[in-house]
Amino acid sequence: MLNKAVFLDRDGTLNFDTGYIGDADKVELFPDVGKSLAELKNIYHFKLIVISNQSGIARGLITKEQVEQVNDAINEKLKKFDVQIDAFFYCPYHPDFNNPELCKCRKPEIGMITEAVNKFNIDLSKSYFVGDSEVDILAAKNAGLKSILVKTGKGDLSFSILQNDNNFPSFVAENFTEASKLIINDSTGV
């Protein structure tokens, strides 16, 4: 059986983006994220999969271990909402520091999405991508996913860039709660 998923950007979408987050103790989820993720997963049975560019690793600003500690901290904070992210996929590369071949995992490329689809048997036609940047929206389009731009993080600036490029997301949401409601309404036809 195929699964449906909500692909999620991490920094600026689930948690406050303080720039190359390396300290797990400083992770702060947006107030509405835990409850909304729990509803998407526990009631509507979406897999929750983070797809994140982490070029801070290539830049020497953070380590893979720190990225994974931040990911673990997110799931730890989500425990009180009775929900967990099913998987975290991240690309540690950046074209300024790495061979272009290595960078094929970077959004807006779909390498991480494809890996998740294969691992979790995901039906892209019933899945969504929520993010705060233009690369999230472009990755969603490249993978054939419905996209939701949240205006948290870099969302307002990203919307302007997308608008200038005449490249619009499927939906725009003020915050994660609104994004979650859009997914539920769209997926159930309500």
d(CA 23, CA 27): 7
How far, in Å, are 12, 112, 166 from residue 169 at the CA level?
A: 17, 20, 10
Encode 117-128: b = buried (16+ Cβ within 10 Å), e = exposed: beeeebebeebb
Assigned token pair, 126: 């019933």
d(CA 30, CA 90): 20
Q: Are 175 and 150 in contact (CB under 8 A)?
A: yes
d(CA 37, CA 176): 9
CA 151 to the chain's CA centroid: 14
Assigned token pair, 66: 């720190």
Q: Give me the active site residues, please.
A: 9, 11
SS3 call for 50? strand
Assigned token pair, 37: 């993720």
